[in-house]
Amino acid sequence: MRAFVVSDHGVPPKIKDLPEPVPGPGQVRIRIHACGLNFADLLMAKGTYQETPAPPFTLGMEIAGVVEALGEGVTAPALGSRVAVFEGSGGLAEAGVFSAARCVVIPDSMPFNEAAGFLVAYGTSHLALTDRARLQKGERLLVLGAAGGVGLTAVELGAAMGAEVIAVARGADKLAVAKAAGATHVIDSDTADLRAEVKALGGADVVYDAVGGDGFKAAMRATNPGGRLIVIGFASGDVPQIPANHLLVKNIDAIGFYWGGYLKWAPERLAASLADLMQMYEAGQLLPHIGAQRPLSDAADALELLRSRKVSGKVVVTI
């Protein structure tokens, strides 16, 4: 089978021929139809992600496909099931073995390309906004990186939860995508005085930040007393340092959030969140946005699109 393999950290990944894997106890083999890319894939290729496998390994954390073989002790999902899976690696390949316990059966109405970009993006925003930030109807939600893979889902889910959403993104095209996803207000990150514009709108009650850098600093200064800043990631490459005295004086919370961590310490909450999201999808309340799609042979180009942040929504590789 073909797979997109990292032979060593810092060396560009390449398509290689590998033997098809055999599922072990508790695993299933999946014929992969699509793989959703995440910012963590870029970090993993460089060896800087917090959970990077030892090379060689196949990139791709988030996949969708069909179960074609069961390992010892596995009774579900059944052979032939359409599933989505989030695991550490292995997705940019024609087949892979994954933990049966992590498989989520997807609705027949959900195409594989949407399913491959669904779990992490929507799962991150749903748990972050409900479980950690405790977003309430009528609050003002500020989303930084609002046209990115996770940011756009935060806009969509925040609007669905009854928040007044302020979306921050770069350029008119991305702002239009955020507006279509439910943003009440849009701000161009390239031209705006972010703090001043957010304050003029009444300030932020909750800040959702997947970017870091100067945007986080400006957003913190525009957060209302009693507000919550939720740290999702650092797409800018700049990890901001938070002055604790600002948190104290303004009575605000800085909250860390790592969706993958719930797999280890609160899997039941993650499962409940995904079940809610699947119901919302089937009810037509969620409309996943795929910004770009490439075949496996162009996986390097797909990663470059993600790195350059030239597309809105999710980047997906079809197998």
Q: Global pTM?
A: 0.89
Residue-level pLDDT at 260: 85
pLDDT tens column, 248-282: 999 999 999 999 889 888 889 999 999 999 999 99
Structural domains in the chain, sorted by start: 2-118+288-318 (3.90.180.10), 120-260 (3.40.50.720)
Residue-level pLDDT at 310: 81
DSSP-derived secondary structure for the chain: -EEEEE-STTSPPEEEE-PPP---TTEEEEEEEEEE--HHHHHHHHT-STTPPPSSEE--SEEEEEEEEE-TT--SSPTT-EEEEE-SS--SBSEEEEEGGGEEEPPTTS-HHHHHTTHHHHHHHHHIIIIIS---TT-EEEEETTTSTTHHHHHHHHHHTT-EEEEEESSHHHHHHHHHTT-SEEEETTT--HHHHHHHTT-EEEEEESS-HHHHHHHHHTEEEEEEEEE---TTS--PPP-HHHHHHHT-EEEE--GGGHHHH-HHHHHHHHHHHHHHHHTT-----EEEEEEGGGHHHHHHHHHHT-SSSEEEEE-
Query: In order along the chain (319 residues), what is the average pLDDT of each group of 10 residues?
Result: 94 95 97 95 89 92 97 96 94 97 94 96 96 96 94 96 97 94 95 91 97 94 97 88 92 94 88 93 93 96 91 92
Residue-level pLDDT at 191: 78
